[in-house]
Amino acid sequence: MVSHEPDQAGQFRLHSARLRDRPPTHGANFLYYAREKIISVQSETPDTNILVWLPSPMGDAILCTPALRAVRERFKSSRITFLANPVVREILSPGVFNDEWIEHEEKDPLAISRLLRRHRFSHAILFKNSFASALAALLAGIPSRIGYAREKRGFLLTDRLQAPKLTSGRFEPRSMIDYYLAVASWLGAETTNRSLELPVAPGAGDSIRSRLPELAGTGGPVVVLVPGGAFGASKCWPSERFAQIADRLITDHNATVVISVAPEPAEKQIAQNICDSSEHTLINLGENPLSIGELKDLFSVADLVITNDTGPRHIAIALRRKVITLFGPNDPAWTETGYENETQIIGNVPCAPCSRPDCVKSRHICMQAITVDMVCNAAKELLEGGRGHRILA
């Protein structure tokens, strides 16, 4: 047996435990194993100083919010500092689950370790899976380092979790929400709340309407289309179909349609192609880029978001918007949220999910299988008060 009793100082205490001596643990419906050490978290003191290293992609950081909330609720007296890149910091700001931010874009673990050492952290929770993050935490002299043993970094961690794998050796598709919640659960931060959460500044609606007066529109629903995708072309639904959707929404629902893309040349061109193909005037944010904070403000007033499998999808879900997500090469299981107002339309073809950024068949047949009528019908259902569901194309 492994003792969970705190020591006399009330501090976290590490106890040795062999994997063979400890059965699998089910945390947040996610099977994982801990190796060699565990942390006793029955007690804490105000001087417990926790570093939480956030995942880098914006979407993954949002999927991590249930775990961040659980950690904050469990360690109310501790000082919690988030380490993140500028995009992740902006999407999660103003911070409601942390006391301080460290913003970085540095990739050199030695440079980051020097920065971290000054803070004298007692624990590092590494939601970021990279080898460099574990190495930096070790070099910073942080005594307890918790994370998944992947990317060959297990020997750098004091507490190692293992995600379940298939017989092929590949990771078993499980929701990243549960993947992150398993870490929180191992720390004693148990929760059944899987809801994504993002803070929005007071007056966000008025602010974005001032920024984009076109949103006043016709009095119909505000619909945001997200046609891009950093993952690769294989996740992108054809531009001409987004244009047809925009026209149908305007004709059938008197909608104000906004095209939201990243401020990159390729995505700006996608937005322009949609506008050029549409028979109506659309709000093209490729010409008028929003900050991450303004993007949250926009989504907070949207009646419907139609998106490829992208990071902005998670913004919409976290802000409790109605969402249609178009899935092709990626397995929806990885990002499943259980959100009741999301309709998932999945390109159900023999070669999917392939998880490839570019289609080896050069035809993108999974995304091509999703028709304009499917999306229009799903939009009508949601705009008229229906609940989300899953459609196989």
Locate tokens 């990317």: which residue?
151
**pTM of structure:** 0.87
Average pLDDT rounded to a whole number, residues 294-314: 96
DSSP E strand boundaries for 57-166: 79-84, 100-103, 123-126, 144-148, 159-162
- Residue-wise pLDDT for 119-132, tens only, equals 999 999 999 999 99
Rounded Cα distance between 299 and 285, Å, is: 13
Q: Could you tell me how many residues make up the chain?
A: 393
Using CA atoms of 147, 131, 360, 235 in order, give the dihedral in degrees to the nearest 10: 50
b/e 363-372 (16+ beta carbons within 10 angstroms → b): ebebbbbbeb
How far lies 370's CA from each of 24, 52, 98, 153, 164, in Å? Answer: 40, 39, 41, 40, 31
- Residue-wise pLDDT for 197-222, tens only, equals 999 988 888 999 999 999 987 789 99
Per CATH, the number for 13-186 is 3.40.50.2000
Superfamily of domain 204-392: Glycogen Phosphorylase B; (3.40.50.2000)
- List the one residue out of 56, 35, 281 whose CA is nearest residue 147: 35
Domain residues of the chain, as ranges?
A: 13-186, 204-392
- Residue-wise pLDDT for 77-130, tens only, equals 999 999 999 999 999 998 899 999 999 988 899 999 999 999 999 999 999 999
- List the one residue out of 249, 303, 237 whose CA is nearest residue 278: 249
CA atoms within 13 A of residue 384's CA, in its CB half-sphere: 9
Q: Answer whether residue 15 shows pLDDT above 90.
A: no
- Concatenating the DSSP letter of every residue in 65-91 gives HHHHHHHHHHTTTSEEEEEE-HHHHHH
Of all residues in the chain, the percent with pLDDT exceeding 70 is: 84
Amino acid present at 12: F
- Residue-wise pLDDT for 134-155, tens only, equals 999 999 999 999 999 999 999 9
Q: Is 13-186's fold the same as 204-392's? A: yes
